[in-house]
Amino acid sequence: MLVLRDFGSDAQRATRIPGMLDETVKLSFGLTAPEHGSDATHMATCARTSTRGPSSCPPTYSLGPAMLPASPRWLG
């Protein structure tokens, strides 16, 4: 929640923070990547929503409306 508070857009703060507090919004964090281990500062994995157009992120792993490349080791 602090990442959204400190770095999120106004729209993200207005919708996601209240949603996290009342549990209508769920967020997840990919912790490991093959080349970076658990160094969250230098992660190379990216994500995009599946409802948006083309992205530099290869859509090979689907979690509902989110798309991730298949390289993450742990998702929570």
Which pLDDT score is estimated for 66? 57
Q: Are strands 66-68 and 61-63 parallel, antiparallel or unpaired?
A: antiparallel
For residue 55, give both structure tokens.
């992205």
17 is in which domain, residue-wise? Answer: 1-30
Which pLDDT score is estimated for 30? 62
Q: What span, in angstroms and rounded, lies between the C-alpha atoms of 10 and 1?
A: 14
Residues 61 and 43 in one domain: yes
Which pLDDT score is estimated for 52? 55
Instruction: Give the pLDDT of the chain (76 residues) as one tens digit per residue.
Output: 788 888 888 988 898 889 989 989 887 766 666 676 777 677 666 665 555 555 555 544 444 555 555 555 555 5
How many other C-beta atoms lie within 10 A of the C-beta of residue 34?
Answer: 10
Which pLDDT score is estimated for 61? 46
Residues 24 and 56 in one domain: no
Helix (H, G, I), strand (E, B) or coil at 16: helix
Residues 26 and 36 in one domain: no
Residues 37 and 74 in one domain: yes
Which pLDDT score is estimated for 22? 93
